Amino acid sequence: MLLSILSLTADANQTIDLQDATGIKNLSATRIDDIDTGSRSVTYDNIQSALETATVKNSNDNTGVDMIFDHSASALAGDADEVN
């Protein structure tokens, strides 16, 4: 699957597994709101390459919920990679 932008909206715990997605350059999470149970997190999992942007915006629940951008082990390996 070739994607360049992926966005999600969440009001419950969610994990988006990107193991089979390629070409993603930008990830966005918006309107994260009222997650009251479980791990209290929204996760982009198994990101396969370095991102140009990763954003969280227009969200009400900004102190009690973890937003996780989890790269695969090889995605950021090497001397030339940089995380800002």
Alpha helices (runs of H) in 20-79, residue ranges in sequence order: none
**What average pLDDT does this structure show over 11-22?**
82
| Phi, psi at 4, each rounded to 5° | -110, -30
Measuring CA to CA, which residue among 79, 73, 8, 10 is closest to residue 38?
10
DSSP label of 66 = E
β-pair type (5-9, 53-57): unpaired
| Burial zone of 47 (CB within 10 Å; 0-12 exposed, 13-18 middle, 19+ buried) | buried
Prediction pTM value: 0.73
Whole-number average pLDDT of the chain: 76
Task: Domain ranges for the chain, please list them.
Answer: 5-71
